[in-house]
A and B are shown apart, each in its own frame.
Chain A
Amino acid sequence: SQELEQSPQSLIVQEGKNLTINCTSSKTLYGLYWYKQKYGEGLIFLMMLQKGGEEKSHEKITAKLDEKKQQSSLHITASQPSHAGIYLCGAPGSSNTGKLIFGQGTTLQVKP
């Protein structure tokens, strides 16, 4: 079965610093989703990447998909306290499935 591994598992950064979270799959990626979870809340959709080499940005968050490496990265530029939370990557279990398999999450703290 497919597994997603995120690194690092937790991260503490000073406000204004850049950071990167990685998500590596044990099998071929047929798309990659990034979600953010705040404490006590549900998952908020950030971005969906579907093609190798694809890169998307939203405000100060950029995500890339490297299909050959079966990996995606999430980069936050000039981090702010509002970026704090748990970041989860998710991928379809196979090429034609309705279920998302998630990584174990990366907990981000941003110190003012």
Chain B
Amino acid sequence: DTAVSQTPKYLVTQMGNDKSIKCEQNLGHDTMYWYKQDSKKFLKIMFSYNNKELIINETVPNRFSPKSPDKAHLNLHINSLELGDSAVYFCASSPTWPLGEKLFFGSGTQLSVL
């Protein structure tokens, strides 16, 4: 069983559309994250939730809205997609907050905005 799973793996869409990426972890972890990796492979944190509560909200356009229906799920909804949103989005989880152990990453969602 995949520990941290994201869907879809690939997402190709037009500018202006709204799209969602889903993430689920079956590790029983309390904390989940969204990271964005740009074309230069630079990985940057976007959001973090601990037990469904938002605890990290980096400088991200408010077109990006995370939602955590329960601690095993963290979804990312993006409104009015722009070309610059093209990137690979990684979901991750960790057992506790603050981070004391490693992050477990999903395999990524490659978003292409045309």
Residues of A within 8 A of B (CB): 33, 35, 37, 40-45, 48, 86, 88, 90, 92, 96-102, 104-105, 107
Q: Bound complex: CA of A48 vs CA of B43, how far in Å?
A: 18
Q: Which A-B residue pairs are the 3 nearest by beta carbons?
A: A42-B105, A43-B105, A102-B43
A20 to chain B: closest CB distance in Å? 19
Note all chain B residues with C-beta closer than 8 A to A97.
98-99
Chain B, interface size category, equals 20 to 34
Does B97 count as interface, using CB distance less than 8 angstroms?
Answer: yes
* A86 adjacent to B41 (CB under 8 Å): yes
> In the bound complex, do residue B41 and residue A107 qualify as a contact, i.e. CB atoms below 8 Å apart?
yes
- Main SS of the interface on chain A? strand
- Contact across chains for B42 and A104 when beta carbons are under 8 A apart: yes
Number of inter-chain CB pairs below 8 Å: 64
Question: In the bound complex, what is the Cα–Cα distance between A100 and B35 (angstroms)?
Answer: 10
Q: Which of B42, B99, B101 contacts A105, CB < 8 Å?
A: B42
Task: Report B's interface with A, CB cutoff 8 A.
Answer: 4, 31, 33, 40-45, 48, 50, 55-56, 90, 92, 94, 97-99, 101-108, 110
* Measured CA separation A91–B105 after assembly (Å): 15
Q: In the complex, given contacts A42-B4, A45-B103, what are 19 additional A-B residue pairs having Cβ atoms less than 8 angstroms apart?
A: A33-B103, A37-B41, A41-B107, A41-B108, A42-B90, A43-B43, A96-B98, A97-B99, A98-B94, A99-B48, A100-B45, A100-B99, A100-B103, A102-B42, A102-B43, A104-B40, A104-B41, A105-B42, A107-B41
